Structure 1
Amino acid sequence: MSTQDKRIREFAYQIWESEGKPEGQEARHWEMASKLAEAEALAPKKAPKATGSKTPASKPAAGAKTLNGKAAEPKAKTTKAKPAAAASVIAPGEKAAEKKPRAPRKPPAA
């Protein structure tokens, strides 16, 4: 079995599980999985993020600011906080917590 077939099998299984393990949907799940695997194979590969700088410290980049003949330290990147909606994502197969209905409003006193 090729790696592509293994990847399609993994995708098909994930689809089957996410739909609640229905019977008789194998062909549809396999077709969906093969399309996903093909798209994954055609997608450009992202290079892993490097932890250190790729440029040597002795040679500052063109246009880099120098201080006493040494390359200036790059500013630290600030990370943005995730939006509140990202915390409320529900995984497939899990049920959302049901909200309690609000009590009806009382009419204003006259």
Structure 2
Amino acid sequence: MSTDDKRIREFAYQIWESEGKPEGQEARHWEMACKLAEAEALAPRKSPKTAVSNAAPKKTGDAKLGPDKTLNGKTAAPKTKAKPAAASKIIPPGEKAVEKKPRAARKPPAV
């Protein structure tokens, strides 16, 4: 068995697993796996040196964090994570978008 056949077999197995292990779909999975393996073979490859250099953090020169937690005399901004796109904006085909009404402001409790 050649390396290509092994790779196609791996792809076909992954496709079969991802679809919930259906029976009777071997030919379709094999065809899909062949296309994936062909695309993978035609894709440009990154050299190991390039992959390592891209993973290394970039140096910012003379930037140093002082004892007062400032960066070159400026206060460092807090790190925040990017928020994912709202799942509520994704509407499956055939379904209507339901607009939510804004909530009314709460009244302060009576004292």
Q: TM-score, normalised by structure 1?
A: 0.48
More helix, by proportion: 2
Could you say which structure has the greater relative contact order, defined with CA pairs below 8 angstroms and 6 or more residues apart? 1
